[in-house]
Amino acid sequence: MRKKSFSLMVVPHDKSPIHNVTLSFPWILASVAIFVLSLSFFVYCTVGYYRKSTRTSEMKRLRAENTRLLKRVKEIESNLAQLRTEMEKLAEENDELRTVMDLPQIDPDVRMMGIGGLLLGSGNTILSSPAEAYAEKVELDIDQLLRQAKLEKTSFEEIRKKFLAQRERLDHTPSIIPAVGYLSSGFGWRKDPFTRRRAFHYGVDISGQHGTPVYATADGRVRKVQYLPRTFGKLVVVDHGYGYETVYAHLSRITVRRGQSVKRGEKIGEMGNTGRSTGTHLHYEVKVNGRPVNPLRFFYAQTYVGS
Ligand SMILES: [Zn+2]
């Protein structure tokens, strides 16, 4: 078999002699192979380097982003800490109001159940990244705060309800002095001004000028408007509900009708000397569940209307 070979002639442009190189086929083959391999290796290295550098910059970017996110999560965490402080103040206020309103304190266990919850997390914080761990903590904190907010809200609603009910009751509890004047006779045993015998006086007498306005001492409804010439004279009885009733006697004039609703401080009549009376005065009684009690105990405000 004849060996294939090529001649490579190098012809210089000056007068130098021509070089003649004879190349055998296997030699060419080997050269081409080496060239191709070198090229491949070069391409492989270049691509590898490029990839690596891309990956490195991506890593850098992600790391920077991670740092930024971690910082933000930490910021959120510190905001949450402030929120928690505010929530603590609300809880304290809640407790105070519950004490004032005579409501039982929130059971500490209930409150802990309401605000606890750190144990309920996935607990995988050791394996997760710092940012993830922080995010998880923030999540738990928010969850906890939400539950506490609900708890405090429910309690505030309870306080509000009780307060409104109490205010309603207070509005219907006799609490002011019904007329301007001076106390001429108290509640209890005394010498009857007519018979001079010992007798129980079921109210207080407030003496004053004829025509002095007489006021309802609490919200209620006029139950009785009567004229009893031998006893109470011109009489008004107001039913306040909650077992309270007030009696205003010896009036010179009555300015309300039976069944009429009255507010505390609303004028119901004028002071007079009607019925069994020795001088211009108001006979005022407070009854609790039908039993007369000392009206002085109900002069909470210690003030007259309008003074
Ligand atoms: Zn009297």
Q: Domain range holding 106? A: 68-171
Please tell me the distance from the alpha carbon of residue 139 to that of residue 145, in angstroms, as a whole number: 10
Residue 236 backbone class (left: φ over 0; alpha: ψ -120 to 50; beta: rest): beta
- Residue 307 in any domain: the answer is no
Residues 192, 292, single domain; the answer is yes
Q: Which of 149, 171, 193 is the last residue of a domain?
A: 171
Please tell me the distance from the alpha carbon of residue 105 to that of residue 8, in angstroms, as a whole number: 107
Please tell me the distance from the alpha carbon of residue 32 to that of residue 185, in angstroms, as a whole number: 135
> pLDDT averaged over consecutive 10-residue blocks of the chain (307 residues)?
72 83 85 94 93 92 90 89 92 92 85 57 57 83 89 94 93 94 92 86 96 97 97 97 97 98 97 95 97 90 49
Residues 189, 284, single domain; the answer is yes
- Residue 177 in any domain: the answer is no
Counting the structural domains of the chain, the total is: 3
Residue 305 backbone class (left: φ over 0; alpha: ψ -120 to 50; beta: rest): beta
Residues 156, 189, single domain; the answer is no
Half-sphere exposure of 33 (CA within 13 A, CB side): 6
Residues 48, 112, single domain; the answer is no
Q: Which residues surround ligand 1, an ion (CB under 5 A)?
A: 205, 283
Residues 165, 221, single domain; the answer is no
CA of 259 to the centre of ligand 1 (A): 25
Residues 158, 263, single domain; the answer is no
The two tokens of residue 178 are 């019904």
- Residue 304 in any domain: the answer is no
Residues 207, 236, single domain; the answer is yes
SS3 208: coil
Residues 35, 87, single domain; the answer is no
Position 120 scores a pLDDT of 44
- Closest C-alpha to 195, from 283, 249, 276: 276
- Its sign, for the CA torsion 243, 170, 207, 184, is positive
Distances (CA, A) of 176 to 160, 203, 284: 25, 14, 12
Residues 264, 236, single domain; the answer is yes
CA of 257 to the centre of ligand 1 (A): 23
Position 301 scores a pLDDT of 58
CA of 240 to the centre of ligand 1 (A): 21
SS3 221: strand
CA of 233 to the centre of ligand 1 (A): 11
Q: Which of 23, 45, 61 is the last residue of a domain?
A: 61
CA of 300 to the centre of ligand 1 (A): 20
Please tell me the distance from the alpha carbon of residue 125 to that of residue 232, in angstroms, as a whole number: 84
Instruction: Name 286's bridge partners.
Output: 246, 293
Position 306 scores a pLDDT of 42
Position 307 scores a pLDDT of 39
Position 167 scores a pLDDT of 92
SS3 38: helix
